[in-house]
């Protein structure tokens, strides 16, 4: 009788949802991926994130959500580079591209600008495109769903599990 009461009453208790950082670390661990986490002060720029991680800016994976015509997509490039919107418009034969607003990011991902990790499904429900600048690096470092937590891992492993489409969309 007591066991039945426990099952009925505890099944109604809402457990706290996992954070994106927890989802990422669980996903990487389940895939047997070797990675390192770094907890640091809140960083608002790629430069500050690189410094806090102790890594070169070029290995940072800057994840940018853009609206391409009517659809949001995730683009990842080296934090040392800028995105070339014209290359994206040309690739998708799109009339318009723009960066997602903070409100749209919150709605799409539940995350703040600067904390978006470079992962689409199953972490974020977005199609993912990675610039060649990421592929050319040995490692990738990125904010992992928060402004205070980063993950550093091999690019080879990242590409294997993120399964992005590789494009050239950084400015030369």
What is the pTM (predicted TM-score) of this model? 0.88
C-alpha torsion sign, points 43, 46, 48, 52? positive
pLDDT digits (tens, 9 = 90+) for 65-104: 999 999 999 999 999 999 999 999 999 999 999 999 999 9
Q: Indicate whether 45 belongs to any domain.
A: yes
Q: What is the largest CA-CA distance in the chain?
A: 70
Rg of the chain over all Cα atoms, to the nearest angstrom: 18
Q: Indicate whether 9 belongs to any domain.
A: no
- What tokens does 62 get? 């800057």
CB 97 within 8 A of CB 87: no
Q: Indicate whether 10 belongs to any domain.
A: no
Secondary structure string (H, E, C) spanning 94-114: CCCEEECCHHHHHHHHCCCCC
C-alpha torsion sign, points 27, 57, 42, 113? negative
CB 7 within 8 A of CB 107: no
Q: Indicate whether 90 belongs to any domain.
A: yes
Q: Indicate whether 6 belongs to any domain.
A: no
pLDDT digits (tens, 9 = 90+) for 147-165: 999 999 999 999 999 999 9
Q: Indicate whether 5 belongs to any domain.
A: no
* Count of structural domains, the chain: 1
Domain that includes residue 96, residue range: 17-167
Q: In this predicted structure, what is the pLDDT of residue 6?
A: 43
C-alpha torsion sign, points 82, 126, 134, 29? positive
User: Residue 21: which CATH number?
Assistant: 3.90.960.10
Q: Indicate whether 138 belongs to any domain.
A: yes
Q: Indicate whether 134 belongs to any domain.
A: yes
44 band by pLDDT with thresholds 50, 70 and 90: confident
């Amino acid at each position: 009788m007591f066991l039945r009461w426990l099952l009925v009453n505890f099944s109604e208790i809402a457990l706290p949802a996992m954070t994106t950082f927890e989802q990422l670390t669980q996903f990487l661990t389940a895939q047997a991926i070797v990675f390192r986490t770094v907890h640091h002060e809140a960083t608002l720029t790629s430069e500050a994130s690189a410094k806090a991680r102790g890594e070169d800016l070029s290995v940072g994976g800057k994840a940018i959500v853009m609206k391409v015509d009517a659809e949001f997509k995730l683009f990842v490039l080296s934090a040392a580079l800028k995105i070339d919107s014209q290359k994206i418009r040309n690739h998708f034969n799109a009339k318009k591209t723009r960066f997602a607003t903070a409100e749209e990011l919150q709605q799409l991902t539940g995350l703040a600008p600067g904390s978006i990790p470079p992962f689409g499904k199953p972490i974020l429900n977005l199609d993912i495109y990675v610039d060649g600048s990421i592929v050319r690096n040995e490692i990738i470092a990125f904010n992992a769903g928060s402004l205070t937590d980063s993950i550093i891992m091999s690019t080879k492993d990242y590409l294997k599990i993120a399964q992005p489409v590789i494009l050239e969309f950084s400015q030369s």
